[in-house]
Structure 1
Amino acid sequence: MTEPTPRDRAVRLYDAFTHEHRDRRTLLREMTALAGSTVAAEALIAGIAASPAAAAAIVDPADKRLDVAMRTGTEAGAPARAYFAELKDKATRGTVLVIHENRGLTPHIQDVARRVALAGFLAIAPDLLAPQGGTPADEDKARDMIGSADYDLALAQARAFAQQARALPGSSGKVGIVGFCWGGAFVNRMALAGGIDAGVSYYGPAPDPAEVANVRAPLMLHYAERDARVAQTGDPWVAALKTANKPVEAFTYPDVDHAFNNDTSAARYNKAAADLAWGRTIAFLHRHLDG
């Protein structure tokens, strides 16, 4: 086995910080030991972490082809908020819920929703931190909020958005879901809970394989070869889905890290893998959601 490079070790340290201990002092101490100085450590962290400044790099929020809006209300008896995006052509289309990472409904996820809309869907990106006051600007705080979120309520709100979308004018009557990291895990849970017609999970931790009999929707699962943490649950989940003859397409992208689709993380984004996964995702969603 190839010895991990300093960059690989840095990515793993950041992954442990963002998904496990969330202790920034520990992260900085470990990165400093790796990089040799606090200044170099901060530079490493900045390159790996998502950058809000790069969040709208692919689709302009003011793109004249799109209607976009942030809408608030109440779903499942709690405050709700979601970003909506769709083409102005008023054609019949399927709906795709876009589920955020553990940092909440960031500008990057709104950008992803616009990409989904340009691909020919109504995109709805719920802020699943809305019951706690909504996604904060402080990403560390958002991660803490995710850790204490009412997961059953989040599922209920997502299912409510899906149910309403089916009845909208111009809807094909079908709803899919795509999620990233924490949102990727959420896609798997929605496939078990019901209420969707197709799901795409990007590097999302998977449920217990014993639950596979309850999967109610076809799935597409994207994994990163270097993402050992997610592979621990992802590999058994894929094997169980295939053994149970559940409709699943699973892809592992070689030599890439967790969050390889996130173009706001300079150190982890891999354009070739992201483009390949995106093309597969959009084709899969059209196959299952078009009227």
Structure 2
Amino acid sequence: MTQDDIDDQVFELYDEYCHGHIDRREFLKRAAIVGVSAVAMASAMMPNYADAQEVQFTDKRIKANWVDYASPGGSSGTMRGYLVVPEGEGPFPAVLVMHENRGLNPYVQDVARRFAVEGFLALAPDGLSPIGGYPGNDDDGRTMQRTLDKAKLRQDMVNSARFVKSHVLSNGKLGATGFCWGGGTTNFLATEMGAELSAGAPFYGSAAVTDKVPNIKAAIQVHYAEDDKRVNAMRDEYESALKKSGITHEMHTYPGTRHGFHNYSTPRYNHEASQLAWKRMVSFFREHLTPKV
């Protein structure tokens, strides 16, 4: 089932579901009110990770491992992440890949592998690792993430960023990206880490706090969905603050897209927009994370 087959009301309900405003049962219940066919539409929107992966973990061009590292001030003092190393001797530019509001699911792991294929040392931290890790499904993952202290979870991401930046295979340049919650956290890292972060590329995430924007030293590339009222309402103020502070930035809106358009495991996925955003981001990171000769 494609985007064109799904009623706009079901998409709106799915957005509420994804952001934790309603649970799965309520999502399907409200879809049933829309109509019998809407239940099938709602069911079709559930993630299908098995068929969506672009780079398998067995790919010879990469090496993927789980790593544990210290995270002072975080949820438990330790963190676990999915580290993917490109083929070759390095050093490599480092990229932090942050998940949505449900822990490190297979989609975000695959994004990390895709970065490694492109020549980046990629770390995808699992914010749920202090309480057992991603549980294998997004519903339980979303519930688990809501139980965490928000400030401590963000500190876990800061510590993860510093871990991969200082890794023996890193060239010392750090980029960060993320989706939805991870997009907002990318903006947060930019204000929190200052010159430690060289580039940030958030996808449809909450903007940085305006009065902290002057702290940003990284180049910023923001990716927006066209139909995403909540996130897009923050754009003008964020863009104005970036301009006022003289921060290198670019903002892209993708026509005909919805929140989550990069996630290829659901019908919100837009292949053309996702591929264009990916090419832009990879090029942006290469420009800002590769030492000039």
Scaled by the length of structure 1, the TM-score of the pair is 0.90
Provide the residue aligned with 2:188 in structure 1.
189
User: Is the 2:191–2:208 Cα contact (8 Å) retained in structure 1?
Assistant: no
Aligned residue pairs, count: 283
Deviation of 1:139 after TM superposition, in Å, equals: 1.5
Find the aligned partners of 1:6 and 1:140 in 2 and give their Cα distance.
21
Residue 268 of structure 1 aligns to a residue whose secondary structure is coil
Shift of 1:230: 1.2
Q: Give the Cα–Cα distance (whole angstroms) in 2 for the partners of residues 165 and 5 of structure 1.
A: 42
**8 A Cα contact 1:55 1:107, kept in partner:** no
SS at 1:84's partner residue? strand
Are the equivalent residues in 2 in contact too, given 1:191–1:216 (CA < 8 A)?
Answer: yes
Give the match for residue 16 of structure 1.
16
Question: RMSD of the alignment, in Å?
Answer: 2.0
Query: Kindly, what percent of the aligned residue pairs are identical?
Result: 37
Comparing 13-22 with 100-109, greater Cα deviation is found at: 13-22
Q: Give the SS at the match of 2:19.
A: helix
Given that 2:104 and 2:134 are in contact with CA atoms closer than 8 Å, whether structure 1 keeps it comes out as: yes
- What one-letter code is carried by the residue in structure 1 that aligns with 2:281? T
Partners of 2:19 and 2:116 lie apart in 1 by 29
Matched residue type, 2:95: V
- In structure 1, the residue matched to 2:259 is 258
2:236 matched residue in structure 1? 235
Counterpart position of 1:74: 70
**Contact 2:183 2:202 (8 Å CA) reproduced:** yes
Instruction: Pick closer, same or farther for the CA change 1:65–1:209 going to 2, 3 Å.
Output: same
Show CA shifts across 1:47-94 (max 9, x none): 2232232342x1011001111111234322523110011212113211
Matches within 5 A, 1:104-183: 104-183=103-182
Structure 1: give runs of 5+ residues left out of the alignment.
none
Q: Report deviation, 1:6.
A: 5.9
> Structure 1 155/250 Cα, relative in aligned 2: closer, same or farther at 3 Å?
same
CA, structure 1 residues 8+172, in 2 after alignment: closer, same or farther (shift >3 Å)? Answer: same
Q: Distance in 1 between matches of 2:182 and 2:58?
A: 26
CA distance in 1, matches of 2:145, 2:216: 24
Match of 1:28 in 2: 28
Matched with 1:102 is 101
Q: CA contact under 8 A between 2:92 and 2:119: conserved in structure 1?
A: yes
Aligned to 1:225: 226
> Aligned residue for 1:59?
55
Of stretches 139-148 and 273-282 in structure 1, the one that deviates more from structure 2 is 139-148
Match of 1:45 in 2: 42
| Residue type at the aligned position of 2:189 | M
Q: How many angstroms apart in 1 are the aligned matches of 2:174 and 2:242?
A: 21
| Residue 198 (str. 1) matches residue 166 (str. 2) | no
* Residue matched to 1:283: 283
Instruction: For residue 5 of structure 1, report the CA deviation from its aligned partner.
Output: 9.3
Q: Deviations over 1:108-137 (max 9, x none)?
A: 111100001111100000001112221112
**Cα distance change on mapping 1:274 and 1:51 into 2, 3 Å:** same
